[in-house]
Amino acid sequence: QKEVEQNSGPLSVPEGAIASLNCTYSDRGSQSFFWYRQYSGKSPELIMFIYSNGDKEDGRFTAQLNKASQYVSLLIRDSQPSDSATYLCAVSADNFNKFYFGSGTKLNVKP
């Protein structure tokens, strides 16, 4: 059973701070890693994807991947109240579009 683990939170950070979200996965053969944001009552929205070890930056978001330690993280700089949502980590371990999702981390950004 391939597992993707996330701390359910809630993670509370003040506005303007850096929010750090973490995810670990069990399958060493995992190839692709994704972060989605889901507002209450809405569908998941893709934020970032990362395939190689290291960091990938996109605006205020940075995804970090460490395959040796089997973890992927998402940093949100200058957090805004509008970033308050549940963040889902997803992992793909084969050449098909079958994603394994973590249970999500709820982020609260306080004004």
Cβ-contact 25, 70 below 8 angstroms: yes
- In the complex with other proteins, the residue whose CB is nearer, 65 or 90, is 90
Residue that has been written with the tokens 């070890």 in this structure: 53
Buried b vs exposed e over 58-70: b needs ≥16 C-beta within 10 Å?
eeebbbbbebeeb
The reply to whether 68 sits near other proteins by the rule CB under 8 A is no
Residues that bind other proteins (rule: CB under 8 A) add up to a total of 24
For residue 80, what are the contacts with CB-CB under 8 A and spacing of at least 6? Answer: 15, 109
Any contact of residue 96 with other proteins (CB under 8 A)? yes
Comparison of 57 and 78: residue with beta carbon closer to other proteins: 57
Our finding on whether 46 is near other proteins (CB under 8 A) is: yes
Residues 6-45 contacting other proteins, CB under 8 A = 31-32, 34, 36, 42-45
Q: How far is the CB of 32 from other proteins (least distance, A)?
A: 5
Could you give the CA distance from residue 23 to residue 6 in angstroms, rounded to a whole number? 5
Give contact residues for other proteins (rule: CB under 8 A).
31-32, 34, 36, 42-46, 49, 88, 90, 92, 94-104
